[in-house]
Amino acid sequence: MQTDSKQTVPEDLGNKVAIRLLDEIYRGGCADSTYQWLIALYMALGQSNVSKYLVGPLSQYSIHFLQHLRDFFSITFKLENPEDDEDDSIPGFTKVLMTCVGINYTNISKRVN
């Protein structure tokens, strides 16, 4: 049993959730700000091809995670504003196009039959 002294009405909770959802939609990109770091991890550990991904403004956690990737794997991301290249800008916050070449990480413990 939860003993939370601050109870919320379902309508207030619905309003807060709707505002956060609309904020993430306005930020744009292909993923919300919560999972930007996971996309960067998959791009860094992926095949040794060029990977590109469009996200909204980078969160503080994502910025620190990119710094950790640089320190541990010596991989850098090219971050650019795609609106500089196009005449028709996407509405919302400024977008960031993340580009990197993966390190082709493979699991050496995986059985090969």
Residue 47, in any domain of the structure: yes
Residue 22 to residues 8, 19, 27, 82, 99, Cα–Cα distance (Å): 21, 5, 9, 22, 27
**What range defines the domain where residue 47 resides?**
30-101
Residue 69 to residues 30, 42, 50, 92, Cα–Cα distance (Å): 21, 11, 16, 28
Residue 58, in any domain of the structure: yes
Q: What sign does the dihedral 80-94-52-37 (CA atoms) show?
A: positive
Residue 49, in any domain of the structure: yes
pLDDT (tens place) for every residue of the chain, 113 residues total: 455 568 888 999 999 999 988 888 888 877 888 899 999 999 999 999 999 999 888 999 999 999 999 999 999 999 998 876 555 555 667 889 999 999 999 888 877 77
How many distinct structural domains can be found in the chain?
Answer: 1
- pTM, 2 dp: 0.74
Residue 8, in any domain of the structure: no
Predicted local distance difference test score (pLDDT) of residue 93: 76
